[in-house]
Structure 1
Amino acid sequence: MLVYASPRLHELARHRDPHRHWECDRPTPQWSVSDAAKRAQPSERIHALSAPKSYTWFEYDRSPYTQITLGARTTTATNRLEMLARPKKREDTFAYAEKYWGQPFPVREEAKHAHPSDLIESLAQAKSCNEEFQYERVLPIPVAESALKALASQRMHQLSQPKPRSVAPVVAFDPYQVSDAAQKARASQRIRELSMSLPRKMKDRAKKARTETQIPKTTES
């Protein structure tokens, strides 16, 4: 059986034509320069772009040896500079030259006769305790005479008695065992109402029951 391709398949099977400006690889890496390019003269814009950039503030590497000017070598420092050039005195005004450990040092007369200000007096006062603060109790705690002579009531005696414990052996617990009270219980009207199925579900069940009863009749016939 011969199958012929359609004209559409013939059209799709054709190779794509190359672009009209396409050129194959150059035969040699040496490019030939045209005579017009050889005789061409560059414009002023080309000359401006081809000129190297110039930097007026450019400076070459400085010598590592700093040259001091004659004025700096012959100048004299002022009194202010002489004072600032002096090192600071690192003296501890509160230190004493101890000759042995724990040596007592005298108190100055000004400190002995000094009077503190009102603010110092107020800050030196100790904080007072709260009005409701209570100190810890002194042990042993004394018991009142009325508590020692008090008599317990009948109710107190009843509450102080321990709970009775059955001496009979413990029967194994069965979680599935139903108590007698639960077996004899009767459901209330509300419980019966809640246990009934919904009307729509009852209709579905009735319809399903009718279909199940009709199936055997059709099979027998």
Structure 2
Amino acid sequence: MSLASYSASRKNHLDSLARPKVNFNKQQDRPSVYWVDKIPSVSTCGTSQRQEDLAKPKKVITINEDRPSPIWPVSSSALSAVPSGRVQNLAQPKKTSQEWKEDRPAYSTVSEGAKKASASPRTTQLAKPKHRATCSLPGTPNSHQESGKESARSIKSAPTARTEALAVPKVEHPEYQHDLSVVRPVPSSALHTQATDRVCQLAKPSPRKIVSDVHDPYRISPAAKHAEASPRIQELCTPPARRQRAKKM
């Protein structure tokens, strides 16, 4: 291969690589599908008169019929009007409460007496932190572990005989029977027992009449047709007087 042909093939390959990729998601114009002699002209989109009217900005009305001018004339009666006592009372601003106090400043001033004050022995004793051992139980002071002497609090909190009696767990009742085990042997008397005639009679299912296809559930017996209601049934069937209404003719 000559140098000229190699350079030409390399140039064609670079041109093919430089072409952008085709976007298949974008709809492309395919004039061959129209089956016409020439490519149809692309119609330009235009706006209608209504769209042009809507696109125009709203006009600012400078002159209002109700307020033709920002300077309103004041009538002579309004100039010479005198407010009543009620109007003057309502026009006065609200006064602050007598118990209202301003917020304290962020940097409060310390009085000279507080600067020269000395703490009492009791305050110094309460200000000391409690020393607790790392391995001590919660709520147990370190002084209890270091000294073998019992404090007055531990002596007062000692359990009494009544407390120890109540702390004893309850014992099961002597006649209490535990649940039977799931797998238990069956006694021989239960294996060789025989059911009585009454048990066999109760074990039988209740007989039910077989409903045939010829059976009509809506058939009324002749005895029901000639039956007459008793006076008591007629009395119970009669609605109360408050619910009886005269029939409109």
Q: Give the TM-score band, short-chain normalised.
A: 0.3 to 0.5
Higher relative CO (CA 8 A, sep ≥ 6), structure 1 or 2? 2
TM-score (norm 1): 0.34
Q: Which has the larger radius of gyration?
A: 1
Using structure 2 for the length normalisation, give the TM-score: 0.31
